[in-house]
């Protein structure tokens, strides 16, 4: 079961799709793909410097007990259990009954719930939030280490230093005389794809159709363009 169902995965942060990070980075590098290798590295360095600086300032400005993204998840979880009520069965054990009669058992001291969200996400599920509220336990004390502000700030402590001047780097004679040829790879047929393919479970963004139709710049009538204008003027 651990190989097929995410809720039974034994790893931490199971819900993060590692392929999405690579695909999003590829999309961010779309503008620099046509550059030479050295210029591409400079483009990546400048982009990562901007990203780290923006996230470092955002994490440093945090004054709450939880990051904003974690608070957003908590709000979504509490919305999912509206209409439920809590029955305490032990000091730290609770039975949460949903509005449709479904039961979920919460163990606050072990940070577990039968819905599996609590122990897998390391963020209290809606059942755990209701149970914690009934005994006066703050939700921030139930959040895992990876989702706390300290870990968020430490992620962006490192600095992405700017590239040094090429003339200041000492290159050995052996490397300067080395000739590197391009790889022997044929180009695939057709136009290269610029947009990434959505992963399974993602919903592609549906573009809204224009409410105002295009007008011809020649006769100012809608429904066609200047090239296909039937007017003789």
pLDDT number for residue 15: 53
Find, among 81, 143, 116, the residue nearest to 106 by Cα.
116
Q: Which of 78, 61, 59 is nearest to 148 (CA)?
A: 59
Please, are residues 95 and 87 in contact by the beta-carbon 8 Å criterion?
yes
Which residue, 161, 159, 165, is CA-closest to 38? Answer: 165
Asked if residue 85 belongs to a domain, the reply is yes
The total number of structural domains in the chain stands at 1
Residue 105 belongs to some domain of the structure: yes
Strand arrangement, sheet containing 93-97: 85-88, 93-97, 103-107, 112-113
Within a domain: 108:
yes
Backbone Cα Rg of the chain: 27
DSSP letter string, 89-121: -SSSEEEEE-TTS-EEEEETTTTEETTSHHHHH
Rounded-to-integer distance, Cα 24 and Cα 195, Å: 10
With cut-offs at 50, 70 and 90, classify the pLDDT of residue 202. low
Condensed to tens digits (0 to 9), the pLDDT of residues 113-168 reads: 999 889 888 899 999 999 999 999 999 999 988 889 998 889 888 888 777 777 77
* Predicted structure pTM score: 0.63
**Nearest CA among 162, 159, 155 for reference residue 46:** 162
What number is the average pLDDT over the span 19-31?
Answer: 76
Structure confidence at residue 204 as a pLDDT band (50, 70, 90): low
Is 148 part of a structural domain of the chain? yes
Range of the domain at 75: 68-152
**Residue 113 belongs to some domain of the structure:** yes
Tell me the average pLDDT of the chain.
83
Residue 38 lies in a domain: no
Confidence label for 9 from pLDDT (cuts 50, 70 and 90)? low
- Angle (nearest 5°) at CA 212 between 208 and 217: 125
Q: Is residue 137 part of a domain?
A: yes
User: Region 177-185: what's the mean pLDDT?
Assistant: 82
Asked if residue 5 is part of any domain, the answer here is no
């Amino acid at each position: 079961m651990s190989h097929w169902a995410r809720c039974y995965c034994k790893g931490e942060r199971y819900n993060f799709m590692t392929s999405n990070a690579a695909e999003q980075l590829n999309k961010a590098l779309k503008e620099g793909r046509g550059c030479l290798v050295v210029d591409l590295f400079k483009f990546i360095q400048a982009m990562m410097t901007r990203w780290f600086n923006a996230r470092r300032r955002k994490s440093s400005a945090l004054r709450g007990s939880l990051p904003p993204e974690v608070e957003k998840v908590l709000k979504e979880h509490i919305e999912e259990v509206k209409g439920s009520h809590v029955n305490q069965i032990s000091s730290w054990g609770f039975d949460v009954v949903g509005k449709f009669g479904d039961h979920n058992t919460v163990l606050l001291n072990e940070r577990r719930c039968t819905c599996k969200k609590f122990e897998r996400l390391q963020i209290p599920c809606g059942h755990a939030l209701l149970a914690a509220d009934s005994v006066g336990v703050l939700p921030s004390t139930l959040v895992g280490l990876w989702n706390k502000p300290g870990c968020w700030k430490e992620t962006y402590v490192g600095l992405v230093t700017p590239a040094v001047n090429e003339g200041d780097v000492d290159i050995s004679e052996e490397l300067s005389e080395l000739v590197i040829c391009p790889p022997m790879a044929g180009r695939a047929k057709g136009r290269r794809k610029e947009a990434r393919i959505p992963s399974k479970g993602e919903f592609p963004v549906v573009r809204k159709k224009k409410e105002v139709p295009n007008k011809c710049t020649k006769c100012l009538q809608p429904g066609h363009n200047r090239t296909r204008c039937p007017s003789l003027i």
